[in-house]
Structure 1
Amino acid sequence: MSDNQTFRNFSEFYPYYLEEHSDVTCRRLHFAGSLLVLIVALYALISGKLLWLLALPVIGYGFAWVGHFKFEKNRPATFRFPLYSLMGDWVMFRDMLIGRIRF
């Protein structure tokens, strides 16, 4: 991808996003981080301990970034495409849940 790459919409971005997540360990770390985000968010809302919500970005991005820097050896798309990347995280999470993507 060139440094000037742009996408007109998420449908154009998602194939690029998947290319940036070709390493299975990276995808597994994304999945674990996303699942933990859901669990912690649910816990915070049910228990009323809303300060836990502050941990969500650390949990989600922490797992994902370890996957990128250590295993995928690339720079997370979040740095250039934050909204599309966040959307991609959840679409990929769904795709892994339903078996469309191997992890």
Structure 2
Amino acid sequence: MDLLTRVRDVASVALVSNGTTRLEQDLARQGLDSLAHTVVNTARIGVAKPDPRVYSIAAERVGAAAERCLFIDDTEANVTAAREAGMAALHYRGLDELRMTLAPLLNE
């Protein structure tokens, strides 16, 4: 939570989830609805990761070209699809690697 909050202070953050139509309510109920600037809920947009349109929509919602986006996911197929869509991407395997990847953004 701390890392995401710090990233949110210096960059636009989109939560991209192959969720249900209850995703936004579930986030709010758990007090997590303010952690991202926008939520791209695939249940609402009609296509799911790893469809390339998901990554385009996420980039559009944060107002950035795909080439300026970093996509992080724990599923390799989604990471590969993000790269094919022009994004930098990280296959999440643990917090230490994520912290190292984000350190330049956070001036650490």
TM-score normalised to structure 1 length: 0.31
Could you say which structure has the greater relative contact order, defined with CA pairs below 8 angstroms and 6 or more residues apart? 1
Q: Which has the higher strand share?
A: 2
Q: Which has the higher helix share?
A: 1
TM-score normalised to structure 2 length: 0.30
Structure showing greater Rg: 1
